């Protein structure tokens, strides 16, 4: 009788193994950096009013374009995910049963994000096509 050896597992090319908790961790950092850069640009463009009101008015006109409207829709989705996932992170850290239920809470966060983001972005789409 001969024994057949199992093939060697494929080598991983990334540290991420596809676990939802790891993707949640990465998305939380990415959304946090995105929000930081939005706030940074927002403070800078608001400061333009003191430097040059004409330049400020030009910047505001740029913000009324459809491309920026799409970016605002993305911002709504990013802020919602970051906020909801932040609550999950707080529960995992400070609730004694948090680590046990972290995966379930992630799915709840994703469902809540979907239920909140779809109508919010949908409303922005309606506004984009009716008001602009």
pLDDT in tens, 8-34: 776 766 665 677 888 899 999 999 999
| 3 against 111, higher pLDDT | 111
The whole-chain average pLDDT of the chain stands at: 89
Nearest-angstrom CA–CA distance, 54 and 58: 6
| pLDDT reported for residue 108 | 96
List the one residue out of 83, 71, 69 whose CA is nearest residue 32: 83
- The model's pTM is 0.79
What phi and psi values does residue 50 have, to the nearest 5 degrees? -80, -35
In residues, how long is the chain? Answer: 132
Q: Is the dihedral of CA 48, 38, 66, 84 positive or negative?
A: negative
For residue 39, pLDDT over 60 is answered with yes
For residue 49, pLDDT over 90 is answered with no
| pLDDT reported for residue 13 | 66
Q: Is the dihedral of CA 93, 95, 101, 106 positive or negative?
A: negative
| pLDDT reported for residue 8 | 73
Name the token pair of 10: 């494929």
């Amino acid at each position: 009788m001969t024994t057949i050896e199992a093939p060697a597992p494929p080598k991983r090319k990334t540290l991420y193994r596809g676990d939802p908790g790891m993707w949640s961790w990465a998305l939380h950092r990415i959304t946090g950096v995105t929000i930081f850069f939005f706030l940074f640009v927002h403070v800078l463009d608001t400061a333009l009013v003191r430097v040059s009101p004409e330049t400020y008015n030009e910047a505001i006109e740029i913000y009324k374009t459809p491309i920026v409207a799409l970016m605002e829709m993305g911002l709504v989705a990013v802020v919602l995910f970051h906020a909801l996932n932040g609550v999950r992170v707080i529960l995992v850290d400070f609730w004694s049963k948090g680590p046990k239920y972290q995966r379930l809470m992630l799915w709840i966060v994703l469902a809540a994000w979907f239920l909140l983001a779809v109508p919010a972005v949908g409303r922005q789409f309606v506004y984009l096509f009716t008001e602009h």
